[in-house]
Amino acid sequence: MEDLNLLDEIVADLEQSENILRIKRLILFTSNDFWSNDAEEIKYLDLRQLIQTLLVNVPNIDHLKHKLNSQVKRLTKQADYLLAADTIIDTIGLLYSFMPKESHDRQQITQARVYQVASEPDTESNYQSSYEQVYAAPVKHKLAYIPNPFEIRLEISRNICPLHAKIVLFSALNYRFSPSEKDWSPLSTYDLNDLLDTIFQACQTVEELESKLYGTAKTLDQAEDGRRAAGVIIQALKPLYEWEG
């Protein structure tokens, strides 16, 4: 199910996290319903094996979200472990996705162009007309939906912390996120893909997207992190506003 190269990246990324012990402890708790307070025991658990076991025991992303939230509610330090849960969803959650082999939109455009040329009578004047119709400068327009959510999410996750992206998007779409315990719980209910899709539908032009995200980033407690996250999100979504067809 999982792409081994992506799994390697996720393991390497998580092992650099300052929150790695809580992440490993929560994976163990979610996957096996077993809690360990022994820091040395948790430290030496193999993260790759923990992830692979989690993927078997919790076979889809919706189940993972539900299980993580229910397990965190059983703990005393919920704010700390909500952050760990969010990290798990935005990294290990990628392994539940799959890479599209071909954009459906691109395929439709190609088929339409082939049909247009083939349907013209074989005369010189009509051939010229067909050529002008098909090979004239393409019109740029916004796609109706994100055709490659896995690629977009992966691009964002490789350039910034996914949590920073979620905070900017959550704040732009809902209300200004504050790093207090009451805001972590609502944030954890959102998936990065869902937030990206919602902001893409809400902003009809890339200029509107830029204004919305950069404006929101300025209001956050960690404004510089927010600005960087906004820039990465904009660059990832910008080609979908400039689709040629």
Q: How many other CB atoms are there within 10 angstroms of residue 172's CB atom?
A: 26
Q: Assess if residue 142 is contained within a domain.
A: no
Residue where the block lists tokens 């796609």: 143
Q: Assess if residue 143 is contained within a domain.
A: no
On whether both 83 and 125 belong to a single domain, the answer is no
On whether both 165 and 218 belong to a single domain, the answer is yes
On whether both 11 and 47 belong to a single domain, the answer is yes
Nearest to 19 by CA among 101, 88, 106, 111: 88
Model pLDDT, residue 211: 93
Model pLDDT, residue 20: 92
Q: How many domains does the chain have?
A: 3
On whether both 63 and 131 belong to a single domain, the answer is no
Nearest to 25 by CA among 89, 90, 88: 88
On whether both 163 and 213 belong to a single domain, the answer is yes
Q: Please give the radius of gyration of the chain, using alpha carbons only, rounded to the nearest integer.
A: 22
Q: Assess if residue 108 is contained within a domain.
A: yes
Tokens of 46: 């193999």
On whether both 189 and 129 belong to a single domain, the answer is no
On whether both 154 and 238 belong to a single domain, the answer is yes
Q: Assess if residue 90 is contained within a domain.
A: yes
Model pLDDT, residue 244: 57
Amino acid at the residue 164: H
Q: Assess if residue 168 is contained within a domain.
A: yes
Q: How many other CB atoms are there within 10 angstroms of residue 228's CB atom?
A: 18
pTM equals 0.53
Last residue of a domain, one of 137, 162, 192: 137
On whether both 109 and 66 belong to a single domain, the answer is no
Distances (CA, A) of 4 to 136, 201, 218: 43, 33, 38
On whether both 130 and 163 belong to a single domain, the answer is no
Domain span holding position 127 = 104-137
Model pLDDT, residue 137: 47
Last residue of a domain, one of 65, 96, 127: 96
On whether both 193 and 231 belong to a single domain, the answer is yes
Q: Assess if residue 234 is contained within a domain.
A: yes
In a 13 Å sphere around the CA of 126, the CA atoms on its Cβ side amount to: 8
Distances (CA, A) of 116 to 129, 243, 244: 11, 20, 17
Q: Assess if residue 144 is contained within a domain.
A: no
On whether both 166 and 222 belong to a single domain, the answer is yes
Model pLDDT, residue 4: 62
On whether both 166 and 219 belong to a single domain, the answer is yes
Point out the residues of the chain with pLDDT beneath 70. 1-4, 98-141, 181, 244-245
